[in-house]
Amino acid sequence: MWSSTRTSVSCFWGQGQVRSRSSNADFPGIKERTLVAVKPDGVQRRLIGEIIKRFEQRGFRLVGLKMLQAPEKLLAQHYVSLQKKPFYPSLLHYMTSGPVVAMVWEGHNVVRSSRMLVGDTDPAGAAPGTIRGDLSVHISRNVVHASDSVQGAEKEISLWFQSAELIDWEGCDHNNIYHL
């Protein structure tokens, strides 16, 4: 279970009236989280807003966000499984070439859905409508990262974020996104 800062919200329901709502936010699977990062090319190309928009519009909840110049040590851990690949040195060079925007998104099946939203690793094979399929051309500059498994997401989130940097908040739109 994630430990993170917890906030409570009040929802306004017209007429300036504040009403408490029933919460089923603890239903299993709703609180799945994933790490998404806008890579340096995405930041340079002013695509941060476009990428955030796609996750927001889908109905996922942003629980952590920061811009950083990723240290090589962090990236070496993040891409540990790729260390022996021929493209690894250029991948590290590219990922340290400028700031990245790291985010944690939460929601039902968010890991699997994010991979679908992001599209194939190689933009040439990424479907139109996906982030990579719409916004990139070459595998070496594919604008965005998204964790590829629930276990991987847990590892990556703890690598990129302190638990106090994640906000456990409940949206007033919850019952319009989930019916559980």
Between 61 and 145, name the residue whose CB sits nearer to ligand TYD: 145
Per-residue three-class SS string for 62-79: EEEEEEECCCHHHHHHHC
Based on its alpha-carbon atoms, the radius of gyration of the chain, rounded to whole angstroms, reads: 17
Strands 167-168 and 5-6: parallel
Binding-site sequence positions for ATP: 39, 87, 115, 121, 132, 142
Least CB distance to ligand TYD at residue 160 (A): 15
Chain residue at closest Cβ approach to ligand TYD: 121
Between 137 and 172, name the residue whose CB sits nearer to ligand TYD: 137
Least CB distance to ligand TYD at residue 116 (A): 12
Please pick, among 78, 108, 138, 145, the residue that the annotation labels catalytic. 145
Which chain residues interact with ligand TYD by CB under 6 A? 82, 87, 91, 121, 139-140, 142, 145, 148
Within a 13 Å sphere around the CA of 94, how many CA atoms are in the beta-carbon half?
18
Residue 138 is a catalytic residue: no
Strands 61-68 and 11-12: unpaired
Return the closest-CA partner of residue 113 out of 27, 33, 22, 23. 33
What does the alpha-carbon distance between residue 102 and residue 156 come to, in Å, rounded to a whole number? 10
Binding-site sequence positions: 39, 87, 115, 121, 132, 142
Least CB distance to ligand TYD at residue 148 (A): 5
Dihedrals φ, ψ of 37, to 5°? -135, 130
Between 79 and 169, name the residue whose CB sits nearer to ligand TYD: 79
Catalytic residue list: 145
